[in-house]
Amino acid sequence: MIGLKKINIIDAKDYVDQEVEIGAWLTDKRSSGKISFLQLRDGTAFFQGVAVKSQLGDDLYELIRHLRQETSMIITGVIHEDTRSHFGFEIEVSGLKVVGESEDYPITPKEHGIDFLLDHRHLWLRSTKPHAMMVIRNEIIRATYVFFNKEGYIKIDAPILTGSAPEGTTELFKTKYFDKEAYLSQSGQLYEEAGALAFDKVFSFGPTFRAEKSKTRRHLIEFWMIEPEMAFMHQEESLEVQERYVAFLVQSVLDNCEYELSLLGRDPEILKKYTKLPYPKISYDKAIEMLQESGDFPEIQWGADFGSPEETYLAEQFDQPVFILNYPKAIKPFYMKPHPTRDDVYICADLLAPEGYGEIIGGSEREDDFDKLEAAIKAAGLDPEAYDWYLDLRRYGSVPHSGFGLGLERAITWITGESHIREAIPFPRLLNRLNP
Ligand code: ATP
Ligand code: MG
């Protein structure tokens, strides 16, 4: 086994007809007296190893025949094309050395219930579907950095422990901070506004925490948000940034995750529609009219916030993600800038994903006038003292600025076509789940 090139399965295509070495785990196996088919994974991809008794000799073949699921090993062999598999390549085993034994691996190839799988999330991550999900998650994160760097944004990290609560304290996790109280961040936005006035265009990417008691397929307790904020930028231009960013994420997954999409059964043709710009834009007023005219929402009145059924209905009327513009003030936070000619709505927009995946972005132009912002803070029942530093941004060289927040796991769930957001994060935190 000495002297062979050590490769990863993902690179097998570059080593056809060559003998190589691979560190791998066994995920499944089919054996007969003469030939064994080993399903292998090495963390980069999955493929098949073929072990033939007549070539390996009795002792090694017996060892291979009795390998158990998730045994780790060093395999040597020759790479061949395998046109029958998704992956396209396989290894003809010439040698095998066990590294770590594995007995009674809990996740077997049979079906398991979701609670069982989530209890074993630390092991479940090894399976093909979670693996594909996490590779796509990584691609979306990578593409995020590429996009914002290309457009001249600086990443400014927002703190996770905060002394004040941006939107009120109801959904906040409170914790001790020595002899004071602190909150886990539910958004980095206010800090990004400070960043924008110092660096022009900034973004943050970090975990956010919401003590939401709602148990839906779209809500995590801990989720990751990308929050860009741009100085000297009005909402119209921000909407352009948002749609270019979302289309770029979809295109990046199409370009770089073809194999993972196929493992998940996600049709790339559907995703291609979402790379076409611009995205449709309708007003909140129009959205209410559409819901009323549908007949499906007899109770709905102007002023109502949209739940999942409303968002799904609206999204279904379009082929692409759709922006809903200018929501009523009463259902949005205080820091948004009011509409110039109407006193009942803000200059804001949510982006709804197609196919019933709900809101993936919330954004707005920000109130940039000191007096109006201070009044809005008071009107929201918040303490202006706690926002003194935030008000400084309007005291010293205030400028029009806009920003938005994209929920990473919402975007992943939509792009992958998965039904539940818990599969879009390595270790989900849910209403009833804090482990593993
Ligand atoms: P929703 O109405 O769906 O609860 P929100 O209005 O509370 O969303 P924002 O506060 O605007 O959402 O947060 C910005 C983005 O963060 C949302 O567009 C969404 O993509 C994401 N997001 C919000 N709450 C959650 C959550 N609990 N889990 C996962 N992602 C979330
Ligand atoms: Mg919410």
- CATH number for region 5-100: 2.40.50.140
Of 410, 412, 415, 429, the one to substitute when testing ligand 1's pocket (max ligand atoms within 8 A of C-beta) is: 410
Prediction pTM value? 0.96
Residue ranges around ligand 1 (CB below 6 Å): 210, 212, 218-220, 223, 225, 358-362, 405, 407, 409-410, 421
Per-residue model confidence (pLDDT) at position 431: 94
pLDDT digits (tens, 9 = 90+) for 135-173: 999 999 999 999 999 999 999 999 999 987 656 667 899
Give residue for tokens 């919402």: 410
- CATH number for region 121-424: 3.30.930.10
Does position 215 have pLDDT exceeding 90, yes or no? no
Distance CA 18, CA 20 (A): 6
274: closest CA among 318, 324, 240? 318
Atom of ligand 1 nearest to the CA of 362: 11
Distance CA 140, CA 238 (A): 20
Q: What mean pLDDT do residues 218-237 have?
A: 98
Q: Which ligand is nearest to the CA of 216?
A: 1
pLDDT digits (tens, 9 = 90+) for 46-91: 999 999 999 999 999 999 999 999 999 999 999 999 999 888 999 9
Q: Which ligand is nearest to the CA of 360?
A: 1
Residue ID of nearest Cα to ligand 1 atom 5: 362
Name the 3-class secondary structure at 188. coil
Query: CA-CA-CA-CA torsion for 285, 290, 295, 296, nearest 10 degrees?
Result: -90
Instruction: Please give the distance, rounded to the nearest whole angstrom, from the Cα atom of residue 188 to the centre of ligand 2.
Output: 15
Of 223, 323, 404, the one to substitute when testing ligand 1's pocket (max ligand atoms within 8 A of C-beta) is: 223
Q: For the chain, what are the domain ranges?
A: 5-100, 121-424
Instruction: Please give the distance, rounded to the nearest whole angstrom, from the Cα atom of residue 332 to the centre of ligand 1.
Output: 12
3-state SS of 12-67 is HHHHECCEEEEEEEEEEEEECCCEEEEEEECCCCEEEEEEEHHHHCHHHHHHHHCC
Instruction: Please give the distance, rounded to the nearest whole angstrom, from the Cα atom of residue 67 to the centre of ligand 1.
Output: 46
pLDDT digits (tens, 9 = 90+) for 369-398: 999 999 999 999 988 998 999 999 999 999
37: closest CA among 72, 2, 85, 5? 85
Does position 365 have pLDDT exceeding 90, yes or no? yes
Instruction: Please give the distance, rounded to the nearest whole angstrom, from the Cα atom of residue 257 to the centre of ligand 2.
Output: 30
